[in-house]
């Protein structure tokens, strides 16, 4: 027997409830790749692991323990399971991501042991395609029950991309309620903690699958009135909209689609909670095809350049800091308020962009661009799905103790220090970030070709080459980012900024902030004795 608690994610997944996913189909990407971007937003340090392929004897069982409800269970082990990197991608370039939408909490079936992260892992272990993963995950949930809150899953392979949404049947219930839709080629899609599938075809099994009870259960429980004259919508039946969840969740969907397809001119009204506003489509055609660098940019978003730009205004402080301390929903003097919830947030544990390429061997075609901490401040390192060993900095560290050996702590340190003088320091950080990622991207074809050449003669040598590439680049990045942190501390210290010659300069605060201070606290204004007297600061400190 093998207890799935050894899978590290099981111990932590309950904290990862605020995530964002982006899906790019092969027809929407510049080179025919399929991309799945996933941010795992929670305050913890994730240890990336490699799980080898395994064979099992008939009758072997897989045990589960749901630590959230103290429920145990088991299912028959598969005859063969595929190799995984993290819980992100398997050896066949199948990738999976998720965001929790919770939905109707009375449907959370705490008596069942299969959680959403179990299903993600099982889908990757047992499926060679995205469609097979949908079938594995839904088949197991229907047979053994589903013990989590509402969940949206992104599932991709080198040719297809799917969104699967699932919710339980309540205490004492059996099975699960779910619908899965294939994203048409040439389109992109996204989800962010709110169910996204509305109406769906009932007679198109090639592009849509669903549970037998998906509509009847809603009717029986009063979630949908078939006599209303309205079409059944999964999201409104099982995850009803309100101003709070629209602001928190749909703003991110709007921003991704707005940036990828500005010609669509999507209104901000829906995520602002305007009644009767048009819902955002499940997918959209981007104005330009996207590369992995474009997807990175989409993940680094605080609504810059829009009417809800978090780097602007009073709450951004003097240096345009987009980060807001949680809780994001708050009340003061009887008024309910909310900060914006951006895609890029300081409390991201890790994120990745899975890239699947149909024209390359699986050992080379599949990789995850992996980053730790805040997406805005991270660097995405290419880790091929076939590598034997995870670079040590990505499997090191504890939230209880700072460590220069942990990638999360190193990146977290730079990100936190940049908050001191955000608008200035972020430029120094981006110069290094851009140069490193440009190197990775421009070097990718060379690495691919070298690995393919080695594959033709010796598979192990090819995998060793990719493993060493990951180790070497990660270690170089760690040294570079530590040096960046030291540079920032040296350049920006005690409110001063050192110039290129290392001399201290007084840069003070931006003009607009000084205007705001004067408007809100006029006591800062000096009395005027004589108009011709020029006001100067004392020369001594």
Kindly report, residue by residue over 338-362, the tens digit of the pLDDT: 899 999 999 999 999 999 999 999 9
Strands 61-66, 2-3: pairing is: parallel
Please tell me the total count of domains within the chain. 2
Between CA 186 and CA 23 the distance in angstroms is 11
Same domain, 290 and 385: no
Residue pointed to by tokens 């949930």 = 141
Please determine, for residue 443, whether its predicted confidence score (pLDDT) is greater than 90: yes
Mean pLDDT to the nearest integer, 39-52: 96
pLDDT band at 8 (very low <50, low <70, confident <90, very high): very low
More confident residue, 536 or 58: 58
pLDDT tens for residues 218-231? 999 999 999 999 99
Per the domain annotation, does 316 fall within a domain? Answer: no
What is the pTM for the complete model shown? 0.94
Per the domain annotation, does 437 fall within a domain? Answer: yes
Supply the DSSP string of 231-285, one letter for each residue: PP-HHHHHS---HHHIIIIIHHHHHHHHHH-GGG---STTTTT-TTPPPPPSEE-
Q: Which pLDDT score is estimated for 15? A: 47
Per the domain annotation, does 133 fall within a domain? Answer: yes
pLDDT band at 60 (very low <50, low <70, confident <90, very high): very high
Element containing residue 185 per DSSP (H, E): none
Q: 1: which 2 tokens?
A: 């027997």
Least reliable range by pLDDT among 183-192, 199-208, 325-334: 325-334
Closest residue by Cα to residue 196 from 147, 158, 162: 162
Same domain, 171 and 290: yes
Same domain, 288 and 389: no
Q: Which pLDDT score is estimated for 535? A: 67
What residues does 363 pair with on adjacent strands? none
Please determine, for residue 532, whether its predicted confidence score (pLDDT) is greater than 80: no
Closest residue by Cα to residue 97 from 324, 353, 322, 333: 353
Range of the domain at 107: 2-194+245-301
Between CA 349 and CA 340 the distance in angstroms is 19
Same domain, 9 and 139: yes
pLDDT band at 540 (very low <50, low <70, confident <90, very high): low
Same domain, 136 and 254: yes
Same domain, 140 and 260: yes
Relative orientation angle of helices 407-418 and 422-455, to the nearest 10 degrees: 150
Per the domain annotation, does 526 fall within a domain? Answer: no
Please determine, for residue 124, whether its predicted confidence score (pLDDT) is greater than 60: yes
Strands 61-66, 208-210: pairing is: unpaired
3-class SS of residue 21: strand
The 3-class secondary structure across 59-79, one letter per residue, is CCEEEEEECCCCEEEEEECCC
What residues does 66 pair with on adjacent strands? 71
N-terminal to C-terminal alpha carbon distance within the chain: 71
pLDDT tens for residues 70-95? 899 999 999 999 999 999 999 999 99
Q: Which pLDDT score is estimated for 10? A: 39
Please determine, for residue 402, whether its predicted confidence score (pLDDT) is greater than 70: yes
Q: Residues 425, 376: contact at Cβ < 8 Å?
A: no
Percent of the chain whose pLDDT exceeds 70? 95
Per the domain annotation, does 530 fall within a domain? Answer: no
Q: Which pLDDT score is estimated for 534? A: 73
Closest residue by Cα to residue 479 from 391, 352, 387: 391
Same domain, 128 and 271: yes
Per the domain annotation, does 228 fall within a domain? Answer: no
Same domain, 163 and 281: yes
Same domain, 296 and 375: no
Mean pLDDT of the chain, nearest integer: 94
Q: Residues 82, 66: contact at Cβ < 8 Å?
A: no
Q: Residues 213, 174: contact at Cβ < 8 Å?
A: no
Q: Which pLDDT score is estimated for 541? A: 59
Same domain, 293 and 441: no
Same domain, 289 and 397: no
Same domain, 285 and 399: no
Mean pLDDT to the nearest integer, 407-427: 97
At which of 280, 301, 322 does a domain end?
301
At which of 257, 277, 301 does a domain end?
301
Strands 348-356, 89-90: pairing is: unpaired
Mean pLDDT to the nearest integer, 157-175: 97
At which of 450, 472, 493 does a domain end?
493
Between CA 359 and CA 351 the distance in angstroms is 25
Q: 512: which 2 tokens?
A: 């607009």
Q: Which pLDDT score is estimated for 13? A: 41
Q: 101: which 2 tokens?
A: 């939408």
């Amino acid at each position: 027997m093998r207890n799935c608690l050894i899978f590290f994610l099981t111990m932590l997944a309950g904290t990862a409830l605020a995530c964002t996913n982006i899906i790019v189909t092969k027809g929407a990407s510049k080179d025919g790749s399929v991309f799945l971007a996933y941010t795992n937003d929670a305050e913890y340090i994730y240890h990336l692991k490699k799980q080898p392929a395994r064979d099992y004897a008939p009758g072997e069982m897989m045990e589960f323990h749901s630590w959230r409800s103290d429920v145990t269970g088991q299912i028959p082990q598969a005859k063969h399971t595929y190799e995984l990197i993290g819980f992100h991608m398997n050896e066949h370039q199948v990738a999976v991501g998720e965001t929790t939408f919770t939905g109707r909490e009375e449907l959370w079936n705490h008596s069942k042991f299969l959680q959403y992260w179990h299903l993600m892992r099982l889908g990757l272990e047992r499926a060679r395609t995205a469609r097979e993963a949908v079938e594995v995950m839904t088949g197991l949930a229907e047979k053994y029950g589903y013990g989590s809150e509402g969940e949206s899953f992104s599932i991709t392979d080198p040719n297809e991309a799917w969104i699967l949404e699932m919710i339980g049947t309540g205490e004492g219930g059996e099975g699960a309620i779910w619908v899965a839709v294939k994203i048409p080629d040439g389109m992109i899609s996204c989800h962010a903690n709110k169910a996204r599938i509305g109406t769906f075809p009932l007679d198109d099994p090639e592009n849509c699958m669903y549970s037998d009870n998906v509509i009847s259960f809603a009717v029986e429980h009063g979630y949908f009135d078939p006599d209303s004259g309205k079409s059944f919508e999964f999201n409104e039946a099982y995850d009803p909209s309100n101003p709070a969840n629209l602001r928190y969740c749909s703003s991110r969907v709007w921003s991704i689609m707005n940036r990828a397809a500005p010609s669509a001119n999507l209104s901000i009204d829906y995520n602002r909670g305007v009644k009767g506003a048009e819902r955002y489509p499940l997918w959209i055609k981007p104005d330009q095809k996207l590369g992995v660098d474009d997807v990175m940019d989409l993940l680094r978003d605080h609504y810059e350049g829009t009417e809800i730009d978090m780097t602007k205004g009073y709450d951004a402080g003097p240096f345009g800091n987009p980060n807001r301390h949680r809780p994001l929903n708050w009340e003061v003097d009887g008024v309910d308020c909310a900060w914006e919830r951006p895609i890029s947030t300081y409390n991201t544990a890790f994120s990745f962009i899975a890239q699947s390429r149909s024209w390359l061997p699986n050992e080379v075609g599949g990789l995850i661009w992996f980053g730790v901490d805040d997406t805005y401040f991270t660097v995405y390192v290419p880790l091929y799905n076939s590598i034997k060993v995870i670079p040590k900095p990505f499997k090191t560290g504890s939230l209880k103790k700072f460590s220069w050996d942990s990638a999360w702590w190193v990146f977290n340190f730079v990100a936190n220090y940049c908050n001191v003088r955000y608008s200035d320091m972020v430029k120094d950080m981006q110069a290094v970030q851009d140069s490193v990622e440009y190197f990775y991207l421009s070097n990718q074809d060379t690495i691919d070709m070298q690995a393919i050449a080695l594959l033709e003669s010796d598979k192990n040598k090819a995998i060793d080459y990719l493993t060493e590439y990951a180790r070497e680049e990660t270690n170089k990045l760690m040294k570079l980012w530590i040096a960046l942190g030291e540079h920032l501390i040296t350049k920006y210290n005690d409110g001063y900024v050192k110039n290129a010659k290392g001399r201290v300069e007084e840069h003070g605060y931006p003009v607009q902030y000084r205007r705001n201070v004067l408007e809100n606290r006029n006591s800062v204004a000096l009395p005027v004795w004589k108009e011709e007297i020029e006001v100067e600061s004392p020369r001594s400190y």
